[in-house]
């Protein structure tokens, strides 16, 4: 193990020296070709070094654990890195992806802690819970988490009180249901599709049910325990609901092409929690910009690492409502025979 670490250290040092020589003081991004999740002791997915050297030569080591690869979480990741770059922070980042597996999240979380990270970013609730459970000392920022307090990540969203803070991707659920009613005024029953294992989804599902019933419609839960059940569960909705509502659920988002394939073929419109799900075949959403959310989280990281901010006193932050946008998949609307020309 020690020998492996020495070899990796030499490789990384050589790569950094080559980059500095080529770029006149700024190191280029270097990433391995592997996109698979890694386990402790194995080669990391990629390491990125950017920013000018500080006067004391300090370089921050940042670990990133992303639950799964899909458009929204990818955008959060990119926004986070962009904020670090814009601040001129000198850092090396270890990017890890758990491919949607909770046990892999725990393994990677332990690795990032044992590697001596100065700060860890965890993207999505299961990833955040794994990292928060692995350390009480290293600052941990979360993003793409609906309600950190309800997910037992912080004492309260206003006053975290520990080593965890970050940003919430709480979406405007009421506005999304209002959009559903506007596009589908004759809808009577709405199926709420989400993964039962994700606490953030349960929170949104409850909010959606209240909004659906307040709008005079009936809400029915349809849950999956894994991505393997998506096709079967969506198929079971055909003939029983008039529309589908899918919140910002990581399992559903990652399998949105399957949802859209079944739903659209059977004339079932899907109102989604975020833009990426619409691009993957959903009908529409009124949602937040995940790149902006990640950028906001990156600004928090800069405050902690560069300015010495106290994470225990940093409230969970939210994107303002004016950052929400309307997204409509025109091709899906055409397939479903729905006129969205007057939707604003």
Fold of 173-287+324-336: Rossmann fold (3.40.50)
Q: Can you identify the CATH homologous superfamily of domain 2-169+290-313?
A: Response regulator (3.40.50.2300)
**pLDDT in the model for residue 40:** 31
Give the separation between CA 112 and CA 141, rounded to whole angstroms. 13
What region does 104 belong to: left with phi over 0, alpha with psi -120 to 50, or beta?
alpha
Q: pLDDT below 50 — which residues of the chain?
A: 1-44, 46, 49
Measure the CA–CA gap between 248 and 236, rounded to whole angstroms: 21
Contact 180, 174 (CB under 8 A): no
Q: And the tokens for 40?
A: 């402790």
pTM of the model: 0.73
Phi, psi for residue 295 in degrees, rounded to 5: -65, -40
Comparing CA positions, the residue from 179, 165, 193, 109 lying closest to residue 343 is 179
What is the structure's pLDDT at 17?
Answer: 36
Please answer whether residues 161 and 312 qualify as being in contact, where contact means their C-beta atoms are separated by less than 8 angstroms: yes
pLDDT of res. 188: 98
**Cα 338 to Cα 320: distance, rounded to the nearest angstrom:** 30
Task: Judge residue 284's burial from the number of C-beta atoms within 10 Å of its C-beta, 0-12 exposed, 13-18 middle, 19 or more buried.
Answer: buried
pLDDT attached to residue 19? 36
Positive or negative torsion for Cα 294, 300, 301, 302: positive
Domains 2-169+290-313 and 173-287+324-336 share a fold: yes
What are 330's two structure tokens?
């025109």
| Domains of the chain, residue spans | 2-169+290-313, 173-287+324-336
pLDDT at 271: 98
pLDDT in the model for residue 321: 74
Q: List C-alpha distances in Å: 42 to 17, 30, 342.
A: 23, 17, 53
CB 219 within 8 A of CB 244: no
- As a 3-state breakdown, the chain gives helix, strand, coil percent values, each rounded to 5, of 40, 20, 40
């Amino acid at each position: 193990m020690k020998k492996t670490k020495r070899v990796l250290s030499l490789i990384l040092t050589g790569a950094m020296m080559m980059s500095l020589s080529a770029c006149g003081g700024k190191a280029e991004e270097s990433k391995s070709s592997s996109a698979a999740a890694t386990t402790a002791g194995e080669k990391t997915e990629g390491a990125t070094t950017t920013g000018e050297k500080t006067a004391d030569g300090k370089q921050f080591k940042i670990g990133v654990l992303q639950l799964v690869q899909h458009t929204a979480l990818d955008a959060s990741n990119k926004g986070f890195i962009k904020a670090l770059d814009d601040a001129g922070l000198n850092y090396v980042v270890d990017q890890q992806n758990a491919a949607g597996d909770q046990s892999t999240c725990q393994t990677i979380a332990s690795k990032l802690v044992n590697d001596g990270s100065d700060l860890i970013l965890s993207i999505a609730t299961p990833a955040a819970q794994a990292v928060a459970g692995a350390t009480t000392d290293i600052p941990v920022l979360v993003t793409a988490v609906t309600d950190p307090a309800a997910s037992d990540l912080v004492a309260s969203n206003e006053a975290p009180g520990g080593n965890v803070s970050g940003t919430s991707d709480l979406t405007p659920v009421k506005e999304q249901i209002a959009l559903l009613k506007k596009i589908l005024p004759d809808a009577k029953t709405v199926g709420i599709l989400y993964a039962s294992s994700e606490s953030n989804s349960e929170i949104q599902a409850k909010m959606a049910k209240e909004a659906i019933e307040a709008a005079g419609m009936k809400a029915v839960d349809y849950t999956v325990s894994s991505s393997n059940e998506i096709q079967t569960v969506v198929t079971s909705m055909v003939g029983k609901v008039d529309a589908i509502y899918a919140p910002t659920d990581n399992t559903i988002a990652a399998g949105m092409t399957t949802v859209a394939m079944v739903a659209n073929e059977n004339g079932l419109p899907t109102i989604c929690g975020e833009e990426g799900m619409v691009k993957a075949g959903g009908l529409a959403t009124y949602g937040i910009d995940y790149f902006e959310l990640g950028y906001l989280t990156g600004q928090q990281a800069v405050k902690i690492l560069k300015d010495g901010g106290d994470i225990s006193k940093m409230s969970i932050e939210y994107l303002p409502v004016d950052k929400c946008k309307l997204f409509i998949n025109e091709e899906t609307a055409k397939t479903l025979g729905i006129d969205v020309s007057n939707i604003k």
